[in-house]
Amino acid sequence: MEEQPGLSEQYTRASPWPVFVALGLVLTEFGVFLGNYLLPVGVGGVLLLETSVVGILRESGYVDSLWPASLGVGLLVGGVGVALLTVGRFNRGVALAGAGGIAVLAAVGFFCYERGYL
Amino acid sequence: MAVSPELVFSVLMGLLLLVVAGWLTRLEDWQAYTPVGGGGYGESTGHGHEEKPAGLTRWLTTVDHKDLGILYSLFGIVAFAWGGITAMLMRVELTTPGMDFLASFGGVGLYNALLTTHGITMLFLFAAPLIFGFANYMVPLLVDADDMAFPRINAIAFWILPFATILMWAGFFLPLVGIDIQAAKTSWTLYTPLSSTMQGTGVDVFLLGFHLSGFSTTMGAINFIATIVAERDSVSVPWSKLDIFSWTILTQGGLILFAFPILTAAVTMLLLDRNFGTMFFAGEGGGAMLWQHLFWFFGHPEVYILVLPPMGLVSLILPKFAGRKLFGFKFVVYSTLAIGILSFGVWAHHMFTTGMNPRLTASFMAISLAIGIPSAVKVFNWITTLWNGKLRMTAPMLFSVGFVQNFIIGGVTGVFLAAVPFDLVMQDTYYVVGHFHFIVFGAIGFALFAAMYYWFPIMTGRMYDRRLALWHFWLSIIGGNITFIAMLILGYGGMPRRYATYLPQFMTWHAVATVGAFIMTFGVVAFIWNIWQSAQYGKRVDSGDPWNLKQSDQFTNEWQWYEGKRQTMLADGGEEDADDAESNAAD
């Protein structure tokens, strides 16, 4: 397959990630805090935030590969979820722990891919 | 079977994530990333790379400080329009003593919601973002930096704002589509116990937006501090040659760094009180006074967060059109720093009538009066800069002079209010409203208009319409003074603030204030029309020095950059020439 340069490769003053970091942060705070039927918005927001943070870290060169960032972000979010579970906030706790777990799973996937196991 | 809201939101979020993933896959190739290291980008296009994509993608993905400056400015103007519309709705209602104009739209409740959003919008969504807009565009140019220290964080800070604003304004629009989330009616100071006990998700949604906007401001401030301290070219711009606007932005950054976390913490505590059963602000806990202390410990530095950069703008612009350097530059910088430090010691002057210990009120009065000294130093320096100067009464100059006039009235009425005996009488009257409107619109607004006209040629490559700008100025200064002086008189008469209805004895001066507000509105319409039209069809600037700054040896860095850019464009046969050719052909 012919390689096409990505936007931030081609243009020196452009990055697709900041707008999604911001949107992810806002949806996370809005959905997770208000909870109830808005919790799916929060879960979507967390996933968007996790992806964007990993993407922006990778793009700006703060990390060399995807899996450590994904693992770190997943553990952080998952940790908050577990903390909420321990104080009895079941729905929010499960939402965050689950979203963190997805990022950890993604980290495993990235690790296998980068090491050539996949 | 009824469809549950959870399912609807799950599907909607799934679709959103798919759209985002699709767009990102089209734009980005993660495999192709070549790490470029943290920090600022260079201007270099040595690898055949262009700076930005075209069209809407450019604006959604830009991390260029100049583009973000323009985005911040546009956002500020939209917020200004919303803040202005809400003000006019209130002023029309206040023309007569009873509840009539708003009665069929929501009555007193709507008035309270308008009051809340007007205050928050003008302070946090108009003034602060517009300051950040100019600072984003100009500070890196003024300090000879390639870009802001953290370009991506700069973009994140901007993009949080529109999303946060949607949350803050949502309560006005959601009821129109059948969703029962009402706008917050807490007033902008969010005093407890009203704000902690008021029912409705609308208050929480508003608070979440407010909370998020604080993140944005703090991220922006950190970026400005890092840019001025670390990205500044220390050879061409040593500390001794740092311009006055950058000094005020640096001071503002410091104030934000210390003040905004307090607001964020206080709003978090308020949200927890409302939703999770904590009792920070309940009578059994810290009580209502705790909120006032926390809020004003943030809130009074916030006044200086908003006014110091406009003071820097006026200090920068006045000398350019007075034909001489700023009088006592060092003292203007020292007074900026002094105001910044003293601003953290005056917060309780908002609380003189709450039953505080009189010894405490005396100390807060002393510091509040003391802060008048560095403020007066600035006024003295501006006037002495004008003295015997060769004045050129351009639009930026007129607005700068208007700033000084309004600031003197706003400042002196503030000195009165700092005195405990006077404040005990005037607390919570229209006198206070008149005082801070002289500062927020008369000073901060005027300085931002001055900056908009002054840098319009750099930001758009075109000149504004001078005639419309003059209309803008005269309508604003006349309308503003009519409205705000009427408010001061109302306050002397005992008219309490925040009320949607009032006793008939106050009607005359309320009517005068409304007439003044309409005059101001015509001025603002002239401004927005001028900016919109001139940015597209205005006369093209034909030199890198449209203000003849070289004459008085004040051709500062940003204009040097602009001249260099024009020369590069001319040499390359760049965009401007192509546009010119097109417009000539069209002519």
ipTM of the predicted structure? 0.91
Report the gap between the CA of B484 and the closest CA in chain A (Å): 37
A90 shares contact with chain B (CB less than 8 Å): no
Q: Measuring CA to CA, which residue among B401, B416, B434 is closest to residue B513? A: B434
Give the pLDDT confidence score for residue B35 in this predicted structure: 44
Q: What is the mean pLDDT of residues B437-461?
A: 96
Q: What is the mean pLDDT of residues B351-374?
A: 92
Q: Does B155 contact A19 at a Cβ distance shorter than 8 Å?
A: yes
Report the gap between the CA of A118 and the closest CA in chain B (Å): 15
Please write the tens of the pLDDT for every residue from B291-337: 999 999 999 999 999 999 999 999 999 999 999 999 999 999 999 99
Report the gap between the CA of B327 and the closest CA in chain A (Å): 39
Q: Measuring CA to CA, which residue among B463, B458, B317 is closest to residue B392? A: B317
pLDDT confidence bin for B394, thresholds 50/70/90: very high
Q: What is the mean pLDDT of residues B147-174?
A: 95
Task: Tell me the pTM.
Answer: 0.91
Residue B182: DSSP 8-state = P
pLDDT above 50 for B553: yes
Give the pLDDT confidence score for residue B106 in this predicted structure: 87
Listed in sequence order, the DSSP H helices in B143-243 are 151-173, 194-197, 201-226
pLDDT above 70 for B1: no
Strands (E) in B266-419, as ranges, are none
From A30, A43, A59, residue closest to B33, measured CB to CB: A59
- 3-state SS track over B109-167: HHHHHHHHHHHHHHHHHHHHHHHHHHHHHHHHHHCCCCCCCCHHHHHHHHHHHHHHHHH
Q: What is the mean pLDDT of residues B95-110?
A: 93
A65 shares contact with chain B (CB less than 8 Å): no
Interface test with B, best of A1, A2, A23, A26 (most B CBs within 10 A): A26
Give the pLDDT confidence score for residue B3 in this predicted structure: 77
Give the pLDDT confidence score for residue B577 in this predicted structure: 44
- Per-residue pLDDT of chain A (118 residues), as tens digits, is 344 556 666 677 889 999 999 999 999 999 999 888 889 999 999 999 999 999 999 888 888 889 999 999 999 999 999 999 998 888 899 999 999 999 999 999 999 988 888 7
pLDDT above 80 for B259: yes
**Count of residues in chain B:** 587
Q: Are A84 and A93 in contact (CB under 8 A)?
A: yes
Q: Are B465 and B530 in contact (CB under 8 A)?
A: yes
Q: Does B159 contact A5 at a Cβ distance shorter than 8 Å?
A: no
Share of chain B above pLDDT 90, in %: 80
- Say how far apart CA B260 and CA B211 lie, in whole Å: 10
Q: Are B67 and B154 in contact (CB under 8 A)?
A: no
Q: What 3-state DSSP class applies to B461?
A: coil
Collect all residues with Cβ–Cβ distance below 8 Å to B220 and sequence separation of at least 6: B132, B154, B157, B158, B256
Q: What is the mean pLDDT of residues B81-91?
A: 97
Report the gap between the CA of B87 and the closest CA in chain A (Å): 28
- Say how far apart CA B227 and CA B93 lie, in whole Å: 46
pLDDT above 60 for B46: no
- Say how far apart CA B92 and CA B513 lie, in whole Å: 10
Interface test with B, best of A1, A4, A8 (most B CBs within 10 A): A8
Q: Does A12 contact B50 at a Cβ distance shorter than 8 Å?
A: yes
Give the pLDDT confidence score for residue B30 in this predicted structure: 57
Q: Which residue of A has its CA nearest to B36?
A: A61
Q: Which residue of B has its CA nearest to A18?
A: B156
Please write the tens of the pLDDT for every residue from B504-527: 999 999 999 999 999 999 999 999
Report the gap between the CA of A76 and the closest CA in chain B (Å): 19
Partners of B61 on chain A (C-beta within 8 Å) are 7-8, 11, 14-16, 18-19
Q: Does B60 contact A20 at a Cβ distance shorter than 8 Å?
A: no
Give the pLDDT confidence score for residue B44 in this predicted structure: 42
- Say how far apart CA B116 and CA B81 lie, in whole Å: 15
From B32, B50, B152, residue closest to A56, measured CB to CB: B152
C-alpha dihedral (B394, B396, B399, B404), degrees to nearest 10 = -100
Tokens of B439: 């500062």
Q: What is the mean pLDDT of residues B409-417?
A: 96
Q: Does A16 contact B24 at a Cβ distance shorter than 8 Å?
A: yes
A102 shares contact with chain B (CB less than 8 Å): no
**B16 or B39, which is more confident?**
B16
Q: Which residue of B has its CA nearest to A30?
A: B208
Collect all residues with Cβ–Cβ distance below 8 Å to B171 and sequence separation of at least 6: B113, B181, B182, B183, B184, B202, B205, B206
Q: Does B13 contact A16 at a Cβ distance shorter than 8 Å?
A: no
User: Domain segments of chain A: what residues?
Assistant: 17-115
Q: Does B5 contact A37 at a Cβ distance shorter than 8 Å?
A: yes
- Say how far apart CA B574 and CA B561 lie, in whole Å: 16
